[in-house]
């Protein structure tokens, strides 16, 4: 499972600075279909945010 441990550059979205992460997924050996992914984010002193989504891969 990939992990990002360093803070990325911040971007200004509507006056509030936000972190922007990007992850490249190598799909060369993946079949077309629907995949489920989970993103977890944690800020010190706050609870962990978890987002579970689906993504469609069509080749």
Q: State pLDDT tens for residues 1-58.
A: 555 556 666 666 666 666 667 778 889 999 999 999 998 887 788 899 899 999 999 9
Domain assignment present for residue 3? The answer is: no
pLDDT of residue 11: 62
Would you say residue 5 lies in a domain? no
Q: Is 4 inside any structural domain?
A: no
pLDDT of residue 23: 77
Residue 32 in any domain: the answer is yes
Is 41 part of a structural domain of the chain?
A: yes
For residue 28, being part of any structural domain is answered with yes
Overall number of domains in the chain: 1
How many whole angstroms from its chain centre is CA 4? Answer: 9
Question: In terms of residue numbers, what domain contains 35?
Answer: 10-57
Please indicate, yes or no, if residue 16 is contained in any of the structural domains.
Answer: yes
Return the pLDDT at 6.
Answer: 65
Torsion angle, alpha carbons of 43, 46, 52, 55, to 10: -30
pTM of the model as a whole = 0.60
């Amino acid at each position: 499972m990939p992990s990002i441990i360093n803070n990325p550059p911040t971007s200004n979205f509507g006056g509030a600075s936000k972190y922007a992460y990007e992850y490249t997924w190598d799909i060369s050996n993946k079949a077309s279909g629907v995949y489920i992914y989970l993103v977890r984010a944690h800020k010190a002193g706050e609870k962990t945010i978890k987002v579970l989504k689906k993504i469609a891969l069509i080749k």
